[in-house]
Every structure is written in structure tokens, then in C-alpha cells.
Structure 1
Amino acid sequence: MTYKKIQLLCVLLYFCIASGCSDVVRLESPRLEMQEAPLGVSVPHPVFSWHLDSDRKGVEQNAYEIRVSPILEGLDSESSLVWNSGKVASDAMQAVYDGQALEQGTDYYWKVRAYTNEGTTAWSKAHRFSTAIGADRWQAEWIGEDRLSNPGENRDSLYTRLAARYLRKEFAGGQKDIRRAMLYISGLGAYEAYLNGERVSDDFLAPALTFYSKLVYYNTYDVTRLLHKGDNTLGVILGNGRYFWLRAQGKPIAGFGLPRLLARLEVEYEDGSRQAVVTDGSWKVTSKGPIIANNEYDGEEYDARKELPGWNRSGYDDTGWQPADVVSAPAGQLCAQPCPPIRVMERVRPVSITRIPSGKYLVDMGQNMVGRLNATFTARKDSVVTMRFSELLNPDSTLYVANLRSAKATDLFTAAADGKYTWRPAFVFHGFRYIELDGLTEMPAAKDLEVEVLYDDMATIGTFETDNRVINQVYSNAYWGIRGNYRNMPTDCPQRDERHGWMGDRTTGCWGESFIFENCLLYRKWLQDIECSQGDNGCISVVSPQYWYERADDITWSGAYIFAAEMMYRHFGDKSGIIKHYPSMKRWAELIIRQYVQDGVVIRDCFGDWCLPPESLELIFSKDPTRKPDGRILSTATFWHILHLLADFASLAGHPEDADGYLACASSLKEGLNRHLFNYETAQYGNNAVTGNLLPLYYGLVPEGYEQRVLNSIVEKTEVERNGHVSTGVVGIQYLMRCLTKYGRQDLAYKLATQETYPSWGYMAKRGATTIWELWNGDTAAPDMNSANHVMLLGDLVIWYYENLAGIKNAEGSTGFRHIEMKPCFPDGLGRVSATYRSVSGTIGSRWERDGDSLSWTVTIPANCSATLYLPVALHPEKPVLAEGIRGITSQEAYWQVELSSGTYHFGK
């Protein structure tokens, strides 16, 4: 090594020591409002977050420091900072902005570093965010084409129809250097925006849907790179989304009006001058373009003969277009979109393409999925290429579409000339495995057909695998089903004429989903939808947003409002849902207490244990009363738990005085439930249906000393009468797996998880399902309700996978997995589990292998976190050795209880 290199190394070492900078602890994933570089942040006090990573054991944060500046270079200049937190003594990996008031429509930059027992981390790289604009800054008008002007268009038939609107505005930019250009835009129901012929973003069906009479979102984009000196053109295509009526007969879906656009383009030049281009009557509009119809249920129709070459570029001749109509603003409040958009998240090719007897081509994607087809094909002039979609096939290989109900699920493309085309719809998606193509001149190759999988942009944060084929397939089915039912809200199904945010599907489901996907922002947005659906008396719609008017006052379904907020707080450390919506939750709880609590029992229940497995494979709903629990048990037990959660929420939201009232009511419900609905002689609730016994047992409502007998009734029904099969519906399945495991019957839970005969998750998979069915007998029941892509029957299965098989559980009282409980049940017959979970506090890992009584188990605990690990004495007879990172070992009945600090550890052989 040369002398100069030695000198340089010494200088670097000196600065590292002087600054306390540690290379063994890394600060990872710095975010603001759980996003890396969000644009259009509307909260005045956003939350910063990060986590730590290190190969060392026992790493603990003891302080942090954050700097924020409107100037990138100003982060190291005290005079340029709008906030310098200073060194804050804390182990929290979140911080709330507490600096100068953030100005609207402004860029800010920030960085963070952490102080730990292993030294100080390097500063994170600088991250940008921008703030939203206020109503006074828009100075724009809503515009559109305020009429139905094409043949067949209507808003009042079963199959509503409307062409897309094309809007454009040419404007002269300055000849000066551009420093920054920001586009603020809302196009309802959905839009694609272009600047000088290039897409502004790859967002799909933007902005995020809402119930538009209450709330309207706009998006914020940095378009600096797309803006030219001199002439520029802003172009927008407006699709119908859910602003225009999807359905107007049968069970109508709320509609709000004709599509409309609001936009403001702000340009800042290097010399400090500014320019704004806004929507007004000077824009041009036409509905005579190639998208002649678009409807989420029915599909998109595209006529290439009507294409408008160059319409979104300067110099286009728009003399045949009309001046845009200035239209009324939507009734809802205009707000910056708080959640990520829908995007293409994966691309999939077909597994087979065959020509069927009709001469059409059948495409099998090999997997039920949600997205749009991006197809390259040849067609003749004026011919129509028909693309039909379905989840299932008839025995003759034709598409099974009966379960789509009135949804056509068909895209049409009309060719302008003989030749090759590449096309994908702009404003529709489909739920499908199979595609039927007609009107092509030749068979397409697999490389010509690509499905773009679409759902809300979020990371996959969980992995899970075992040595059991059934469990692995069901997990895959859950993965595809969950993400296929994310559409700015958690939906019930993605394929038929429904696709709504049914709340009962997600009461417990949201917890399991959060192990696989980083879904916190989606659920944060959905909580706002739920509050927007609330009536003056406190009632909330069980379909939110309320496109169907369903106000049921049902506890087990409406309770998703509270359970989702709890999930966000416990799993992601995000208490914003609790704080923001607590007054609304309180009004709902007061309504239930006022109207439906009588003599210690909640008397209101609308849906019962929805979709429990019927006694006949042809039925949708069971006709056997012995299978159906008393709805009062479900409502009373669930509301008892909700009241306890609200008591906790009251303190978090700054209203601790409310807690005693909730707890007093809960106490009366426990007493009333057992007085009215528990048979002390038989130790059974109601008619002894499994779900009726499950909820009181799981929540701890069973009178002391009767727990084992209640469990025996559940086991007798499940193991003996149902021969080791599920006998619960949507409500009971949320508790079944965890309750059995909690009370020592993990063997029965494992049998249910691996069962392959009806009714079971394995039965669905064995019958060819690649997602989760709506019904346990979805392959034989009438098509009214046999969606092949639902997630409500998952219940607590995914939670059980991670918490009870892998042993990755957020410990009681912990938020964000700062303390982890690792207590797998190690069921007989299961030889291996490997799982990871990238929590907000870092990546947790658990991998174990079992061969008889021999166990090998490796776990990883993130930096600045800890864990309590339960090692079965039967599988590890010798007391573990106290070593680095292990804080303590105690004997707890059948377990060695091991207290771990951060790091990777191995136990067993």
C-alpha cells in the first residue's frame, strides 16, 4: 500500500471515529407517510419512519436526528432548515414533523440518522416530498363534454354506455430554463394524461375511487422532464370509471354524472417567474375518438378507424373538436390522494393457446388473476376482434360465464386496415384465467399475449413455504386472491357485476393480508371511505364506498371499521386511523348501544355466519338450522371485543374519559350473553353451532371453569360430526384456526388446513382452484354466488400460517413488531416451515425443520427489536446455552422461554 493511500485511510478513519459513524449499523427504508418520495402530501404534520439493519446482535437505537429543508443543498445549513429535530433520545423509529408550517405546493428534502449502542449510522440519502395545494390555488374550472352525443349512449339501462372524452390544450411556454413543473389533476371517473404526447404517469384508473358526493381525489405529478421550451400540449382522455353509471337497472350502482376534468399545470422558471395552465372553456373536447365505450363490468370497445393521430401533441388540427363545456364541480371535497395508485405489478404469459371447435382461440393463463390483456394480433380491415374473459370453463372448453351475472367482460377491437396491431384497454380490467379470442386471421403465439396484473402499488413483504403441498397451494391461492381484490379498496370479487368493498370480508382478513402485502395505506384510505358512508345517526354502510346502499347496522360486518384501524396500529405502528376516525367510530358504537343493546344482549344481526358450508353441494345457503348460530351470540361477543378496543382507542385519540363507559357496557354484555344464551348444564351457547361456541371461547367470555367443555363441543362438531372438516362461515372461520391452537388442538387445526375433501381450502385447490372461492362448494353451487376469486373464507388461515406455524407474531402490547412472540405449534406431520416478514421495524425470519423429535430452528430478529421465543422441551430437552444476544432463559411448563435481542440465532441440531 502506498504512503498516500495509507494517509487517505487514516483521514477517513479519523472522520469516522470523530463523527461516531458506524459501518455495522445501517439505516434502511427512510419514508415519509409510509412512502419513499410522495408528491402532494396534505397532512400538516407528516410522519417520518425508518428501520435499522445490522449483522451484530443486540443492536439498540437510543436517539435519532432529522433535518428538513426546502433546498436540497440546505440540509447541511442550519439557516436553511425548516426543522432540525436535534438529537432526540428515543428508541422509536417514527417521528412526527414538528417544524415550521409547511407551505403548499412546495418541495422539501429530508434526511435522518440514528444513534445506537453500536455507534451512529450514516445520514440517509436525502429524500424529497412535496406538499399539496389548497382550494384557493387551483383557479381552474371543471370541464368536459356535457351531453350524450354518440349512438347508443345511455345512463338508464342495464348496460349503460358512454364513449371516452378526449381533451386538449395547446399553450406557449417560455424560452427560459425550466426549474420545476408540477401537474395537479383529477379526471372523473378515470383519466390518462399526456404532455407533448408522452404519458404523465403509469397510474391506472387514477384517481383513486371514492364516493364522489363526499370526497374527490386529485393526483400530483412532477412533469418537468416532459415540458418543452416554446409550444406545449396537455392532453387527457377521460374514462367512465365509477363516476358514470355502471348499472342503472336490477340492483343499480350509484352514479354521479358525466366524466369531467380539473387540472392545474404550474411551471417555475430558473429566473423565478411562474406560469400556470388551468382547465377552462378554452380547452377543446371530442367524444369521437377510438374508445367508443368503456365499462368496468362489460369491457372496453376500441375502434381503430377513429384514431386521432397526434391529438396530444402541438400542431394538431382540432378544428373539428368542440369548445369544452364548463361543468359543475362534484359535490365531494377535493383532496390530495393519500394512497399509492393502481399499477401494473406483474406481467404473465399464457401457458397454452388452442383452437377450439368453434374456430376461436382459447388462451389459458394457468392462473386466475386480475388485469388486462396486452395483445399483438393480425386482423382484417373493419373486422372486430373479440376478447372474452372467464374464470372457469364448461366441459366443452367454452367459457363458463354464468357466475359473471350481467357482466359482459368483453373487449372489442375494430381494425382500421389489414395488418398487425398491439392494443390494451385503458379503462377496464377483468378477473379471469381464460381468454377466448375471435376475429383473428391467425393463431397468436404466447409471446404476443401478455396479461398485465393490476392492483394497488404495494410491496410484497411476506414469504411462506412448507413441505406440505396443500398448504403451499392454498397460500399461493390466497396470495393471488388477495392482490386480485385490491382496487383502491379491498373488494369482494373482481369479475362479476359487483366488485364492492364489503366490510365483512375483511374484519379479520385484513390482518392476514398485512403479513403478505404492505397494505396499510390502502386500509388507511378505506377507513375514510367507511366514514364517508356514515349516516347522520351514526350508521355506516357495510359496502364502502357505498355504491350499493347497504346500511345494515350489523356488528360482525361493520366491525371491520374498528378491526382494520387496530391492524394498522398494531402491525404498522400507524395510529392515524384511530385518531382521525375515533369520533366517527364512537358515534357508530353509541348507535348500537342506543338501539340494539337490550338486557345485556346485542339483538341486531343481519348476515349470520354467512356462507357456512351447506349440507348439500347444490345449495348456496344451508337449510339446516342446527348449523346456524344464534346471531345474538355473534353480535354480542364481537361488540364486547369492539368496546374493549374502543376503550384503548379513546386513550390514543385523546379521550380517556370515554373508556370507562365502554368497559361498563362490555361488562354488562358478558353477563347478559351468559345469562341469556349459555346453557350451564350442557356448556353450550345457543344451539351448539360451532361458530356460536367459538366466539365466546376465543374472546374469553366463557364462564370460568367451563372453557374445556365449550372447546369439547367445538371439537365434537368439527372432528366427529363433520369428520374433520370446516363447518363455519365467514364469521366463524375468522377464529377457528387460532382458537383450536390456543386451546391445545393444533392437531385438529392442522388437519383442517391440509384437508382435501369438501368442505376445505384443500378441496378448492384439488378441484383446480388457483384463488379462493366465495363458497366452500363453489364448483357445484348455483352461479348466483360462485365467484372463483373471493377471500372472505380465508378467515384467520393466513394469520395462523405466520403466527402459529412460522412463529412470527406481534407480541401483546407491541406495535410494529418491536417485540415478537415466536411460538410455533410444530404440528405432527409438518416437517418444514420457512417464512420471512418485512415488518416496518425490519425483516423477521423463521425457518424450522422437524424430523420426529429432532428440531432445527433458525430465527432472525431485526435491529432495535426483541423477541420471546418458546422452545418446546419435547423437541429440545436440553436447556439452551446462554450466549451473546440471549437476555435470559426460563422454564415455562412445556417450553424453554428464551428472551432474545436482535440478531440471528439457531436452536437444535
Structure 2
Amino acid sequence: MLVASSRQTLARDVGDVWDSGKVLFGESLGIRYSGKPLQSDRVYFWKVRVWDRDGEPTDWSPPAFWSTGLLDSTDWKARWIGLDRAVDGDAPDSPGRRLSARMLRREFTLHGAVERATAFVCGLGLFELYVNGRKIGDNVLAPALSEYDRRVYYQTLDVTGALRQGRNAVGVVLGNGRYFAPRTDNPTRTRTFGFPKLLLQINVHFEDGTTARVISDGRWKVTAGGPIRANNEYDGEVYDARREMPGWANPGFDDSDWRPVELVEGPRGVLASQPNEPIKVTQTLEPVALNEPKPGVWIFDMGQNMVGWVRLHVRGKRGTKVRLRFAEVLNPDGTLNTANLRSAKATDVYILKGQGEEVWEPRFTYHGFRYVELTGYPGEPDLSTIEGRVVHDALEKTGDFACSNPLLNQIYRNAVWGIRGNYRSVPTDCPQRDERQGWLGDRSEECRGESFIFHVVNLYSKWMRDVQDAQRPSGSIPDLAPAYWPFYNDNTTWPGTFLIAPGNMLAQYGDVETVRAHYEAMKRWVRYMRRYLKNGIMTRDSYGDWCYPPKNRHLIHSHDTSRMTSGELIGTAYFYHELRLL
């Protein structure tokens, strides 16, 4: 393998950064880089060839490249900025629960032709980046979730084509995400980490070889008075189009009524480049049916249980309030059945500005649904009024299944939609109700099955890092990670996925690095759990035969103790399996 500092050098078959030479090794994946130390914000070019069993080399692969992030904390010159409090312009009840999206902007001048420019952005809880009025990239719900007290992820975005010589403007919208966690109604003790905040650095390389840097600092301005009046992943988004500010991310915008940002304390977690695939809108669905079970209450059937949101098309008077609610099933009378959502409001609200056709979709929420209730709509909707936007981690689909049995084919299709819909930068348990957590036990076996369908190695490698970040000094591992619900129940079934999933990644992908990175943490957990062994039996168990078949479909668990499998039996079997893996 050759790695070079330029295309021209690589074209001469010179690896001035790394020339691996001919490597005699039985593995072909996960080979560690061992060239010169890499530098921050650099582009490296590489190609590779192999030898066959007769000792004949292949042609060189086509040249490819990778770029590096900011590899050392000293490379960051930016400051954390934001407003660490509710302010005038926030949603009315923001001090207690809901919070409007902050909008931040700054103008700057570039004195040269831009050759390459890269933005490194950490916007917590969620962010969208704009340069000269243009949204950068197609990622949504960015960045990835994490144990914010231990680690926060930034994303790297190419802004070369958006910048120009002369005056420029950069803008960022900050959503709440899981960082600012208060909700209208919290179902359990949910951790919250602070008010939304931004760290941004744009490194600009000019054609003449000089450089410039644009950073988040005290020169930015901020407003909480924008159109996104409230946003929460569980409860939904409220958007008041009357508050839109056309041109807010363009140079020359009048921001005289915006306030200066505050330099704020950043999260305690270390900064790291997001290692897994971003979340994207991957598909758009058209409704298949529309009914009116009650006057003014319209129910759309998307024809598919999906995860994401809808795009609304509407015309009407200024101030008209349109409400969208979401559910997976209907009541017998054709209205929404939201019982399984528990406390999740799953409601989006759009307030019209009254200017011709208005097209809107939310940015900082998501729902699991098949049915959409539309109320407050001016006039009579039709099937073109909404579109379903399918949202999930943009993982490569690597496998498929089909057979002669229609039922098995449908079960497989259901599995694909269900698995994919729960990719939210961690593998979650559900996308619709007031939970949506990365429960470890839910993936102890599913991690193997889904690895035949999707390329999940980056996702699981990142998730195992979340697990280790949530591990306590004692060695205890939570039942879910990131541990937004701090459930540390000390059992072998749920936390055991910390060993089981890397074992599967090793078997499926030859991924040694995930095992190597967490092996010591795995041993700490095993040593911690040994305290619960008595005469070779694991006595500690919180779940047992979790969700075994109940007497009727209205129960989660059977109350018939004779049908229960001993938790000690299951816990001991799991611990034995985990020890063998270790």
C-alpha cells in the first residue's frame, strides 16, 4: 500500500507518507496504518495492490484519498459559544421544558481564491450549517449521540464550493436533541447536559498557499426568536413561518436586533470525529389513502410503518395553525391510537406565513408511524398534501433475502424496515414512544442477524465506545448506552452485549480493533460481576426471560409464574458464554 502527500507523488508510485512494502499476512481487513504521523486537516492519497498465490501482483487500484480531522485538542482554536439560559424569544414555557432553536451567525472576508475549505462543527444537541445562505451537506439529526460527559462528536464538512473571495457569512441552527433533554413530560429520570452550544472551525486553504481560519468566538451573534419555537425528538417540532428571517445566513443581513453570543463552558467530554455513518433522508413515500373519520380530522395512510417525518404542502391565511400527529395503528373508528406512544406527544405544528404555497418539514425531531393525523388544514387535503421522509443512519445495504414463501418474504421486509428505522447513531429499541434508547440486551442476538443485511461495523464500533464511556470506575456497565436513563442494574444479560457484539463483529468482519480497544474494559466488567457468583451460579438478574409470551396481547409480561424461566439459569448461561468469548 502506498500513501502519498499529493496526487502527483502517488502517480509516480511513491509513498512518501507510507510504503507498506509487500506484506505477508493472513488478514486482509483492519490492517493498522504504520506510516508517518498524520497531520490535522490534510488530504492523503493512496492505492493498493495484492499478490496472488503464484506471486504475481495485480495492477494498482485506482487512486483514492482520505482527509484527516483535527487530531489534537491544540488544533482547535474555536471557543464554545451559545446562551446557557432561557432568554426572551424562547418558547413561553422554555425555562421548564421546551426551548426554541437558537440561530447563530457571523460575517467575514476572504482575501483570496479558495482552493480547499473544511468546516469542523460540533453543535449540541443538533445542528445545521449554512454558508452564504446554502445548507451544507444532506446530513440530518447531526451529530451522533454520545455520552456527552465523556465524549462529544464533531462532523467534518467540505465548504469549498460555498465560500467565495470577498464577503461571506456563516450561520448555524442549534436544535435541542438529547443534550437539552427536558420535555413536556419526562417518563423517567432522564439526564440533561445543558443548553445548546456550538464549536465551529473553518480552515481555509487559498490557491496561493496561504491559509485563514474562521472560528466560533465572541464576534458571533445569536437569536432565540427564529421560526423553530420548540423542538424535541419525542414531542415534535413547532414552526412559526411568520418568524422566518430571509437571508439570515447571507452577508449583509441586518442582525442589529440579535444579541452577542456568550462564551460558554463546553461539555466535559473530549472532542472526537464522528466515526460512524451520518443520518440522512434516504427515501420519500407517497400516502396510499386518505380518510376523514371526524369532521376536520384527516388521516393519511403511508402504506408502510416508517421512521422520520412528513413534508407538508399548504396554502392559507397568515397565522393558520396546522397540526400533524403520528401513530402506528388506528382505533376501530379510524382515528389515531397513540396509547403505545405513552408520554411522547409526537406532534408537529406549522403556523402559516400566508404567502402562496408553503412547503415545510421539521429538522430536529423524528417519529415512528404509519398514520398521520392532519387538523387545522385550510381547505380539503389530498394525497399530495404530505410526503413521508424516511430517515435513518445511511448504512450500506450489503445483503438481501428472497424465497418462494410470501410470508417469509414479508417477515424479512418487516425486519429490514424495523431494523433500519432504529438506527439513530446507536441501535435503539423503538423509534416512536417515549423511550428510543440504546438497550444493550436488545442487540445481543440481533447484532448477528443485521450484520448479514447492513454494513454495521462502524455503527457497532462507535456504540461499543459509548458503552465503555458509560462504564463506571467500579466496572459496572449500564443496561443501555449512552446512559441517558441511568440504569445500572448489574446483570449479565443486557451488559453482556459489550462482549457479544464485538465477538460478532470479529466473526463477521474480521474486526479486531473493536475487541482490542475494549478488552480491558470487558475484563473490568467480568471482574466486577464475579462478586455475584455463588457456587458457580450467577445470582444477579434483572430481566430473566424478558417479554416471554403473556396470556393476552394487552400484557407485556405474563403473570403466570409457572411459565417463567429462572433468571439465575439465564444469567449463569449468559455469563458462561461471555467468559468463553473473553
8 A contact 2:312–2:386 mirrored in 1:
yes
Matched, 1:138 2:84: no
- The match for 1:127 among 41, 64, 69 is 64
Structure 1 position 79, deviation (Å)? 5.6
Matched, 1:555 2:478: no
Counterpart of 2:86, as a letter, is L
8 A contact 1:145–1:287 mirrored in 2:
no
Partner in structure 2 of residue 200 of structure 1: 136
Question: Partners of 1:290 and 1:269 in 2: how far apart?
Answer: 36
Partner in structure 2 of residue 443 of structure 1: 380
Partner in structure 1 of residue 248 of structure 2: 311
8 A contact 1:380–1:415 mirrored in 2:
yes
- The match for 1:147 among 77, 85, 88 is 85
**Could you say what secondary structure the match of 1:289 adopts?**
coil
Structure 1 position 602, deviation (Å)? 0.9
Structure 1 position 151, deviation (Å)? 4.5
Matched, 1:614 2:550: yes
- The match for 2:415 among 464, 467, 478 is 478
Partner in structure 1 of residue 220 of structure 2: 283
Cα deviation per residue 1:555-581 (whole Å; 9 max; x = unaligned)?
A: 111111111101111101111111001
Partner in structure 1 of residue 440 of structure 2: 503
Structure 1 position 425, deviation (Å)? 0.3
Matched, 1:86 2:21: yes
Counterpart of 2:508, as a letter, is H
**Could you say what secondary structure the match of 2:139 adopts?**
coil
Counterpart of 1:612, as a letter, is Y
Structure 1 position 450, deviation (Å)? 1.8
Matched, 1:512 2:449: yes
**Could you say what secondary structure the match of 1:96 adopts?**
coil
Structure 2's unaligned 5+ residue stretches are: none
Structure 1's unaligned 5+ residue stretches are: 1-65, 647-909
Structure 1 position 289, deviation (Å)? 0.6
Counterpart of 1:543, as a letter, is L
Question: Partners of 1:91 and 1:620 in 2: how far apart?
Answer: 49
- The match for 1:77 among 6, 9, 12 is 12
8 A contact 1:379–1:385 mirrored in 2:
no
8 A contact 1:132–1:336 mirrored in 2:
yes
Pick the structure with greater CA Rg. 1
8 A contact 1:361–1:443 mirrored in 2:
no
- The match for 2:536 among 595, 600, 607 is 600
Partner in structure 2 of residue 655 of structure 1: none
Cα deviation per residue 1:166-204 (whole Å; 9 max; x = unaligned)?
A: 000100011x22121111110000000011111111111
Structure 1 position 270, deviation (Å)? 1.6
Structure 1 position 627, deviation (Å)? 1.1
Partner in structure 2 of residue 68 of structure 1: 3
Matched, 1:421 2:368: no
Partner in structure 2 of residue 679 of structure 1: none
Question: Partners of 1:550 and 1:605 in 2: how far apart?
Answer: 13
Counterpart of 2:149, as a letter, is S
Matched, 1:233 2:173: no
Seen in structure 2, the aligned counterparts of structure 1 residues 617 and 240 have a Cα distance that, compared at 3 Å, is closer
Question: Partners of 1:245 and 1:641 in 2: how far apart?
Answer: 37
8 A contact 2:3–2:44 mirrored in 1:
yes
Cα deviation per residue 1:280-330 (whole Å; 9 max; x = unaligned)?
A: 111010010100100111100000100000000001000010001111011
Identity over aligned pairs, percent: 44
Counterpart of 1:207, as a letter, is P
8 A contact 1:71–1:80 mirrored in 2:
no
Structure 1 position 249, deviation (Å)? 4.4
Seen in structure 2, the aligned counterparts of structure 1 residues 640 and 155 have a Cα distance that, compared at 3 Å, is farther
Counterpart of 1:324, as a letter, is V
Question: Partners of 1:73 and 1:467 in 2: how far apart?
Answer: 54
Seen in structure 2, the aligned counterparts of structure 1 residues 590 and 155 have a Cα distance that, compared at 3 Å, is farther
Aligned pairs (5 A) from 1:635-714? 635-646=571-582
Partner in structure 2 of residue 741 of structure 1: none
Structure 1 position 358, deviation (Å)? 2.3
TM-score in terms of structure 2 length: 0.96
Structure 1 position 472, deviation (Å)? 1.3
Aligned pairs (5 A) from 1:845-884? none
Structure 1 position 366, deviation (Å)? 0.8
Partner in structure 2 of residue 585 of structure 1: 522
Seen in structure 2, the aligned counterparts of structure 1 residues 541 and 273 have a Cα distance that, compared at 3 Å, is same
Structure 1 position 80, deviation (Å)? 5.7
Aligned pairs (5 A) from 1:405-420? 405-417=342-354, 419-420=356-357
**Could you say what secondary structure the match of 2:230 adopts?**
strand
8 A contact 1:370–1:453 mirrored in 2:
yes
Seen in structure 2, the aligned counterparts of structure 1 residues 617 and 89 have a Cα distance that, compared at 3 Å, is closer
**Could you say what secondary structure the match of 2:204 adopts?**
strand
Question: Partners of 1:449 and 1:254 in 2: how far apart?
Answer: 34
- The match for 1:267 among 201, 204, 208 is 204
Structure 1 position 368, deviation (Å)? 0.7
Matched, 1:402 2:342: no
Question: Partners of 1:617 and 1:497 in 2: how far apart?
Answer: 20
Counterpart of 2:517, as a letter, is K
Structure 1 position 447, deviation (Å)? 3.8
**Could you say what secondary structure the match of 1:498 adopts?**
coil
Count, aligned residues: 576
Seen in structure 2, the aligned counterparts of structure 1 residues 226 and 617 have a Cα distance that, compared at 3 Å, is closer
Partner in structure 2 of residue 462 of structure 1: 399
**Could you say what secondary structure the match of 1:312 adopts?**
coil
Bigger helix share: 1
8 A contact 2:187–2:343 mirrored in 1:
no
Matched, 1:344 2:281: yes
Counterpart of 2:192, as a letter, is G
- The match for 1:433 among 367, 370, 388 is 370
Seen in structure 2, the aligned counterparts of structure 1 residues 452 and 472 have a Cα distance that, compared at 3 Å, is same
**Could you say what secondary structure the match of 1:446 adopts?**
coil
Counterpart of 1:515, as a letter, is F
Structure 1 position 418, deviation (Å)? 5.3
Counterpart of 1:86, as a letter, is G
Counterpart of 1:148, as a letter, is A
Seen in structure 2, the aligned counterparts of structure 1 residues 122 and 354 have a Cα distance that, compared at 3 Å, is farther
Partner in structure 1 of residue 311 of structure 2: 374
Partner in structure 2 of residue 629 of structure 1: 565
8 A contact 2:296–2:376 mirrored in 1:
no
Structure 1 position 91, deviation (Å)? 5.2
Structure 1 position 117, deviation (Å)? 4.6
Partner in structure 2 of residue 332 of structure 1: 269
- The match for 1:300 among 237, 245, 251 is 237
Question: Partners of 2:170 and 2:37 in 1: how far apart?
Answer: 33
Partner in structure 2 of residue 18 of structure 1: none
TM-score in terms of structure 1 length: 0.62
8 A contact 2:94–2:100 mirrored in 1:
no
Cα deviation per residue 1:696-743 (whole Å; 9 max; x = unaligned)?
A: xxxxxxxxxxxxxxxxxxxxxxxxxxxxxxxxxxxxxxxxxxxxxxxx
- The match for 2:106 among 150, 156, 169 is 169
Cα deviation per residue 1:110-167 (whole Å; 9 max; x = unaligned)?
A: 11122225854332221111112121111111001232123523354xxx20000000
Counterpart of 1:102, as a letter, is L
Counterpart of 2:81, as a letter, is I
Matched, 1:186 2:122: yes
Cα-Cα RMSD: 1.5
Structure 1 position 90, deviation (Å)? 4.0
